[in-house]
Amino acid sequence: MLMDSHHRVIDYLRVAVTDRCNLRCLYCMPEEGIQPLPHGEILSYEEILRVARVAVGLGISKVRLTGGEPLVRRDLESLVRALAGLEGIRDLSMTTNGVLLKDRARDLRQAGLKRINVSLDSLDPQRYRAITRGGELERVWEGILAALEAGMHPVKINVVAMEEHNGDEILSFARLSIGWPLEVRFIERMPLGAQGCCPPGKFLSAQAILDRLKEVYPLEPLAAKTGNGPAQLYRISNGLGTIGIIAPMTQHFCHSCNRLRLTPEGKLRACLFSDQEVDLKGLLRSSASEQALREKIQEAISRKPSRGSPGAQADLRVKKCVRPMSRIGG
């Protein structure tokens, strides 16, 4: 069992397989995009698998693939298949914008992907196009349906709550959980992203979202379940799906954080909000031993701060995060 110096069990590895993305969401990336990493700087699938194998040996049991947009990386199914074959991995999931999901959902499921999160911040095609700077809502919805048809469970919809962009769509998103077996998750907007990419706007808190929902729907609180992380779960009466509320700003969950993040270029981060990292790529490309990798992973865990969220009273060891979200993996 992996445990940090604050007695938190660390069992979850998020792997950003690329920094590239086929959208330019306004809260994540500047309109012109970011300078992509040279392909040679990005970890190969073999290198990712080696890190995962060592991490699983230490106690990691859950792996999530992120980006950037993971589906822009060629033959991701082969990585999924290899990870799914590691003894000790109980949960293998992915976060995607859904644009490329329709034609790949079945193959991903057959390769071993168990569940999926799809980022979707508007149900209005024109507004979605504006938020993503070019995305097509219909393609994303087709991808969501394909994931359901392929047997992925649960399929979660991640909605970054932004008063000025989708604050009037809270109820519309919630209605999805009535007629579809989806978990619709409202997430407080966090001050992360490339410098200058995130225009200021009115903050929409988790409590404000919950208040709006309760004005219209009777919400049944649900017990937390494995794989749901910090989400507080609710169900609308007779709904096929659920609603999740995630409040990293107003109700930080640093005390129960169980995560490590592997960046596309092989840096291991113990805290989303801190740029404190250890380099694994150098070890991977210098024929270092498995023991050296284990020690480096344990070093990252030993540096994990007690608090890092802007919603928490930050640990003095936290260095402010300036890395773009597309190079962290969320």
The model's pLDDT over 16-40, given as tens digits with 9 standing for 90+, comes to 999 999 999 998 888 888 899 999 9
Compute how many other C-beta atoms are within 10 angstroms of the C-beta atom of residue 274.
20
Phi then psi dihedrals of residue 281, to 5 deg: -60, -40
The pLDDT-based confidence of 193 (bands split at 50, 70, 90) is low
pLDDT at 268: 98
Query: Nearest 5°: phi and psi at 57?
Result: -65, -25
pLDDT on residue 318: 42
Report percent pLDDT > 70 for the chain: 89
Return the pLDDT at 191. Answer: 73
In this prediction, residues 299-328 reach a mean pLDDT of 65
Query: Whole-number mean pLDDT of the chain?
Result: 91
Provide the 8-state DSSP code for 193: S
Q: What whole-number distance in Å separates Cα of residue 2 and Cα of residue 194?
A: 32
Neighbouring C-beta atoms of residue 197, cutoff 10 Å: 21
Of 73-82, 282-291, 312-321, the poorest mean pLDDT is in 312-321
Q: What pLDDT, on the 0 to 100 scale, is given for residue 325?
A: 63
Distance CA 165, CA 128 (A): 9
Q: Tell me: cis bond preceding 264? Omega within 30 of 0 counts.
A: no
Fold classified for 12-327: TIM Barrel (3.20.20)
The closest alpha carbon to 94, from 69, 73, 112, 115, belongs to: 115
Tell me what pLDDT residue 316 has: 37
93-125 burial code (b ≥16 CB/10 A, e <16) = bbbbbbbbbbebbeebbebbbbbbbbbbbbbee
Tell me which of 227 and 5 has the higher pLDDT: 5
Lowest mean pLDDT among 61-65, 96-100, 174-178, 319-323: 319-323
Whether the per-residue pLDDT at 255 is higher than 60: the answer is yes
What mean pLDDT do residues 124-138 have? 98
Please tell me the predicted confidence (pLDDT) of residue 229. Answer: 76
Burial code of 18-49, b = ≥16 C-beta within 10 A, e = fewer?
Answer: bbbbebbbbbbbbeebbebbeeeebbebebbb
Is pLDDT above 60 for 198? no
pLDDT of residue 253: 84
Residue 263 has pLDDT above 90, yes or no: yes
Mean pLDDT of 268-282: 92
pLDDT confidence tier of residue 186, bands split at 50, 70 and 90: very high
Mean pLDDT calculated for residue range 67-94: 98
CA 120 to chain centre: 13
pLDDT tens digit sequence for 36-73: 999 999 999 999 999 999 999 999 999 999 999 999 99
**pLDDT reported for residue 152:** 98
What's residue 203's pLDDT?
87
Per-residue pLDDT at 226: 57
Distance CA 204, CA 39 (A): 38
Burial code (b: 16+ CB inside 10 Å, e: under 16) for 155-186 equals bbbbbbbbeebbeebbeebbbbbbebebbbbb
Average pLDDT over residues 234-249: 96
Cβ atoms 240, 249 nearer than 8 A? no
Mean pLDDT of the 235-257 span: 93
Q: What's residue 252's pLDDT? A: 79
Task: Spell out the residues 6+ positions from residue 108 whose beta carbon is closer than 8 angstroms to its own.
Answer: 76, 77, 80, 94, 116, 150, 152
Q: For residue 165, what pLDDT is reported? A: 95
- Note the pLDDT of residue 33: 84
- Work out the number of other CB atoms within 10 angstroms of the CB of residue 212: 17
Q: What are the boundaries of each domain within the chain?
A: 12-327
Nearest alpha-carbon partner for 60 in 112, 115, 14, 108: 14
10 Å CB burial of residue 63 (0-12, 13-18, 19+) is: buried
Residue 312 in this model has a pLDDT that exceeds 70: no
106 membership: H or E segment, kind and range: helix 105-111
**297 Cβ neighbours under 8 A, 6+ residues apart:** 51, 54, 55, 58, 260, 268, 278, 280
Query: How far is the C-alpha of 118 from the C-alpha of 330, rounded, in Å?
Result: 13
What integer pLDDT is reported at residue 262 of this predicted model?
A: 98
Q: How would you classify the pairing of strands 115-119 and 155-161?
A: parallel
Confidence check: pLDDT of 294 > 80: yes
pLDDT of residue 323: 60
